[in-house]
Amino acid sequence: MIKKDRKGIHELYSIDPIEADKLLWGRETDSSRRGFLKKTALATMGTFLGAEIAFANTMPAGLIPASLISDEPFLIPGKHAGLVILNDKPINAETPPHLLNDIITPADKLFVRNNGLVPENIDVNNWILTIEGESAKEKKTFTLEELKSNFKHYTYQLTLECGGNGRNEFNPPAKGNQWSLGAVGCPEWTGARLKDVLQSIGVKDDAVYIGYYGKDIHLSQNPDKVVISRGVPVKKAMEDESLIAWSMNNEEIPVMNGYPLRLIFGGWPGSTSGKWLHKIVIRNKIHDGPKMEGASYRVPCNFVSPGSEIDNEDMCIIESMPVKSLITYPKSGAVINDGTFLKVNGHAWAGDYKVSEMQISIDFGSTWQKCELKSPKNRHAWQQWNANVNFPKKGYYEVWARATDSNRKSQPMVVPGWNPKGYLNNACHRIAVKVV
């Protein structure tokens, strides 16, 4: 039996959301309206929230009010004080949505996702990048200065998102860092196009994949152990926007984010964009480095029931990330006066596609309002959207955001298909608003 006085609200809802409803609010579902809540239970919740819940009759059971979702800040050196640390060894930290309102993500607000320890004593003057592999026509090395002088520089604004962003919403819970929504950002990156560097040494016709190796340190501190070595198909590597980057927002890349050299593949899981880059291999097969096999960065090839055990051969590698959006203004918990409208804005992105439409709802998804949506600065950059929202009366509201991509796929209102690693959650983002 769940003990209310021993567990926090998120843990209660992760175990059994309907039972959590009953324990926290004394609320139960209405048998005449399956999946919804009784008026008495909604009244209790409204009292706690400090306002009557507008459109309460459409609020599903088992839903934590957005105003109760905490983003309490912690401090991490070199980053904005509002970043939330999920792990300190290795360091992993995310950025609350309201701190991601910038069109171009500042360096101090870009999330940190590490699998190992940050390299020590980085010697940028002697940093070497090696290109080799069974499908490379020759082996070649470049200093950082040679990369900068031998190849044309390109700058793109590219969306970088952890494949596990949103993991904390999956039920049954998935193992790993319990990312909320802030493992995403879209800085400007400058470097050489990966395809220009690869073509300079020659790529054989049998090339299938590229893989990377970084200088991060294994948690065991065994120098012979590789922390992570992932990659992408050659087709993705040869895109114009695929970069070997040495600069972020016209400055050096922060150490936590891969200084002095890293790969950037916009629109694909951030784990493909290797940090502290010192070697690239051109493979005649799918790369088989650490975190490329088993269940790592893979999802079931077909839908499975929650909690299922899945054989590794039934798991498929994650490639393009799904359509997604964030409300970055206002911060959840906003209070406005009755009779005034609320300006709402945010970002939307869609992996290898563009976002074609953006909508918001204030009645738990029963109706949707179209937003103004801007074009991306370049391919793989997120897009800005905004809307003015009018609320019909005083009360508690939730603003939900939903993006649709150019392939006509929309964000689901609830957490999408369960998978054992908790990847690719692109459910609608929602914030709380109180009208007084």
pLDDT tens for 159-218 read 999 999 999 999 999 888 999 999 999 999 999 999 999 999 999 999 999 999 999 999
* Cβ 423 vs Cβ 407: under 8 Å: no
> 251-252 and 128-132 as β-strands: parallel, antiparallel, unpaired?
unpaired
Beta bridge partners of 233: 209
pLDDT greater at residue 4 or residue 426: 426
> 184-185 and 395-405 as β-strands: parallel, antiparallel, unpaired?
unpaired
Q: Cis omega before residue 187 (within 30°)? A: no
* pLDDT tier for residue 6 given thresholds of 50, 70 and 90: very low
Classify domain 324-435 at the CATH topology level. Answer: Immunoglobulin-like (2.60.40)
- DSSP state for residue 273 in the 8-state scheme: S
* pLDDT tier for residue 411 given thresholds of 50, 70 and 90: very high
Average pLDDT over residues 407-416: 95
CA distance 211 to 293: 13
- Give the closest residue to 193 by CA, choosing from 140, 155, 250: 155
Residue type, 145: E
Q: Which CATH number fits domain 84-317: 3.30.390.50, 3.90.420.10, 3.90.700.10, 3.40.720.10?
A: 3.90.420.10
pLDDT greater at residue 14 or residue 232: 232
Instruction: Give the total residue count for the chain.
Output: 436
* pLDDT tier for residue 376 given thresholds of 50, 70 and 90: very high
Average pLDDT over residues 20-49: 66
Prediction pTM value: 0.87
* Cβ 425 vs Cβ 170: under 8 Å: yes
* pLDDT tier for residue 4 given thresholds of 50, 70 and 90: very low
Domain ranges in the chain are: 4-64, 84-317, 324-435
Percent of the chain's residues with pLDDT above 70 = 91
Q: What are phi and psi of 56, to 5 degrees?
A: -60, -30
